[in-house]
Structure 1
Amino acid sequence: MKKLALSMLLAMSLTTSVFAAPTVLPLWPEGVPGAKNIGPEKFDRGSVSNVSEPSLTLVGPAVDRPNGTAVIVAPGGGYVRESFDREGLQYATWLSTLGVTTFVLKYRMQEFGHPAPLQDVLRAVRLLRARAGEFGIDPNRIGVMGSSAGGHLAATAGTLFDHPLGRTGAELDKVSARPDFLVLMYPVIAMEAPAAHMGSRKALIGTSPSPELVQLMSLEKQVTPKTPPTLLIHTQADQAVPVENSILFYQALTRNKVPAEMYLFEQGAHGMGMRDGLANASQWPRRAEEWLRARGLLTAPTPPAK
């Protein structure tokens, strides 16, 4: 019965978020910083590439009483493409059943390289915080969730939110870009062997990055006590992005006394998304829901006293 109820909720949410015209918010209406003419975006089997106009696609909560929590979802794809449907809209549909307002991030990738993705994710946090009232969200309950390279991008938001390279001189730079929590799915974290995913590294920082840039983008080395509470999910079976990436980040969080939880499952290849048939790994959405609920992120705010 629980599975049937969840399926019905997912179908309801899918109906409202996919068949209705989605709300798409441009990240840089005043003009994309460092704009390039790289031709049109490319769409292939649910993935998008060649992004030059970053945006947020809004998927609203599918329950009567939204809880005010917002999540920016960064799909993965090695900074070469973004798995927009499977690691974007699918996650958003699930989060909508929990009362969360979700924004799927379409960000710049290899055609621009660092720091364009960092600028895009920090701009997304600032935009939602500045317009929280318009979207019915709590400006102190804005999280970033990412998978694979999208997990690396989410982790950059949680570690480099104050970095000068994340600012462009826009008025919104005055708004805090620090997320309030992170959810990292089989994330790329390290930029050095043996744990590094070299494809993501090459796409983001090139074939011959400086040692300083490698250190900066090795996010296990950028964790501080200001890094937000984090949930990590990874598997032993991941042959693309080694599980050590999550372990290194978790260890850094622990050293810095940042609240963190980590689930390491046996089964589930890289990019598992919300796939069934992976034993305990298929239950990660339930574990994530428990973590969000325990942090008070799924409880509707108390209305002010009259």
Structure 2
Amino acid sequence: MKKLALALMLPTLSTCALAQNVLPLWPEGVPGARAIGPERHDNGRIANVSEPALTLVGPAVDRPNGTAVIVAPGGGYVRQSADREGTQYATWLSTLGVTTFVLKYRMQEFGHPAPLQDVLRAVRLLRSRAAQFHLDPDRIGVMGSSAGGHLAASAGTLFDHPLGRTGNALDKVSARPDFLMLMYPVITMDGPAVHAGSRKALLGANPTLEAVQLMSVERQVTPRTPPTLLIHTQADASVPVENSILFYQALTKARVPAEMYLFEQGEHGMGMRDGLANASMWPRRAEEWLRSRGLLTPSATSATQAK
């Protein structure tokens, strides 16, 4: 509880401080680059992204434990809730010794497969530069909320898909995350549980059946999908809880280690909000899950790199 309270009390990192820790995803040039006008920032949200990047939030402890989490904020592939579902999560994870990278990814202006390319490039980039950031290259996870959860789940299921490659040398580096943390995620692109807004923003108004099936990520789960934590609520009126259930069922069928918490209270986009009964305690459950998987124990690899 003390760590969670600390995360909630820590001030939001200043724009200046964050700017000093920004890593462009595509320094050689964004694939399919196009002029879409300036990036928009409003009340902690980002829209109209054309230059994907990672923002580093380092551990708030003496030494990192070697675990890294790429955080993909939600927003229906239209915008990104960068503060509530990005920086706030990163600040909490920092108290656990985790090195966090908040992902700013392309959205509706580019459509599929641009977001997939961005998240897989993020995994490849961190794995290739693990020594620089004192990371264990086998402890790189992706966390996402809502549409960001769909992006994280896409990374965990489509990490070898040709659409995630761009011909760069980094394509040779594994893009498979080592674990997933999915907060009220969009999962399916079809059926009664679909979040129509996310589907339209990602796949267009009239997507092909092939695209719908591919990006219904519950259909893409295999035994190679990484261990996954799912958190959702009955009260979510935007992205039905069935999305998490569908993914959990697919993981179980494929014998992938998975843990799921379904809470009664908590509207969509709840983030780390207080006053939601048991749902407000999800960070405690997530910490327990990370600890049980050995992801909060100092890594021998990171300890060697730090010397």
Q: Which residue of the partner structure matches residue 20 of structure 1? A: 17
* C-alpha distance in 1 between matches for 2:161 and 2:107: 19
Alignment of structure 1 residues 137-216 onto 2, 5 Å = 137-216=135-214
Deviation at 1:20, TM superposition (A): 3.1
How much has 1:16 moved relative to structure 2? 6.4
- Say if 2:116 and 2:151, in contact at 8 Å, map to a contact too: yes
Please give the TM-score of this superposition, normalised by the length of structure 2: 0.95
Q: Any gaps of 5 or more consecutive residues in structure 1?
A: none
1:246 paired residue number: 244
Q: Which residue number corresponds to residue 297 of structure 1?
A: 295
Structure 2 Cα separation of the partners of residues 187 and 242 of structure 1 = 9
Aligned-residue CA RMSD (Å) = 1.5
CA distance in 2, matches of 1:270, 1:16: 24
Distance of 1:265 and 1:15 partners within structure 2: 27
Query: Which shifted more, 295-304 or 224-233?
Result: 295-304
Shift of 1:15: 6.9
Corresponding position of 2:66: 68
Between the aligned partners of 2:17 and 2:45, the Cα distance in structure 1 is 20
| Alignment size in residue pairs | 302
Alpha-carbon distance, 1:11 to partner: 4.5
> What SS does the corresponding residue of 2:144 show, helix, strand or coil?
strand
Specify the code of the residue in structure 2 equivalent to 1:115. Answer: P
Which amino acid letter does the alignment assign opposite residue 20 of structure 1?
A
Asked if structure 1 preserves the Cα contact closer than 8 Å seen for 2:188 and 2:194, the reply is yes
| C-alpha distance after superposition, 1:124-148 (max 9, x if no partner) | 0000000000011100000000000
Query: Is the counterpart of residue 269 in structure 1 residue 296 in structure 2?
Result: no
Structure 2 CA distance, aligned partners of 1:18 and 1:9? Answer: 18
Aligned ranges 1:86-105 → 2 under 5 Å: 86-105=84-103
Tell me which residue corresponds to 2:234. 236
Structure having greater relative contact order (Cα 8 Å, sep ≥ 6): 2
Corresponding letter in the other structure for 2:222: T
* 1:45 counterpart residue number: 43
- 1:13-63 deviations in Å (ceiling 9; x for gaps): x47676635400000000000001000000011000000000000000001
The alignment partner of 2:91 has SS state of: helix
Runs (5+) with no aligned partner, structure 2: none
Q: Partners in 1 of 2:113 and 2:18 — Cα distance?
A: 31
Alpha carbons 1:9, 1:62 under 8 Å: kept = no
The letter for the 1-side match of 2:23 is L
Q: Distance in 2 between matches of 1:83 and 1:211?
A: 29
CA distance in 1: counterparts of 2:298 and 2:88, whole angstroms: 23
The AA in structure 2 aligned to 1:197 is H
Return closer, same or farther for 1:18/1:95 CA change in 2, 3 Å cut-off: farther
- Paired position in structure 2 for 1:110: 108
Cα deviation for residue 193 of structure 1 reads 2.0
Tell me if the contact between 2:46 and 2:80 (Cα under 8 Å) persists in the aligned partners: yes
Q: Residues 15 and 88 of structure 1: is their aligned pair in 2 closer, same or farther, counting only changes over 3 Å?
A: closer
Structure 1 residue 8, shift from structure 2 partner: 4.0
Contact 2:4 2:283 (8 Å CA) reproduced: no
Cα shift at 1:301: 1.8
Using the aligned pairs only, state the percent identity: 79
Secondary structure, counterpart of 2:70 in structure 1: strand
- Secondary structure at the aligned position of 2:132 is classed as helix
One-letter amino acid of the structure 2 residue matched with residue 55 of structure 1? A
Q: In the alignment, residue 224 of structure 1 is paired with which amino acid?
A: T
Partner secondary structure for residue 215 of structure 1:
helix
Q: 1:17·1:59 contact (CA, 8 Å) conserved in 2?
A: no
Quote the offset at 1:65 in angstroms: 2.1
CA distance in 2 between counterparts of 1:243 and 1:15 reads 30
Instruction: Please state how far the C-alpha of 1:7 moved relative to its aligned partner.
Output: 3.5
Shift of 1:6: 4.4
Superposed displacement of residue 287, structure 1:
0.1
Amino acid at match of 1:86: R
DSSP-derived class of the 1:134 partner: coil
The TM-score with structure 1 as length reference comes to 0.96
Q: What CA distance in whole angstroms lies between the structure 2 residues aligned with 1:21 and 1:162? A: 31
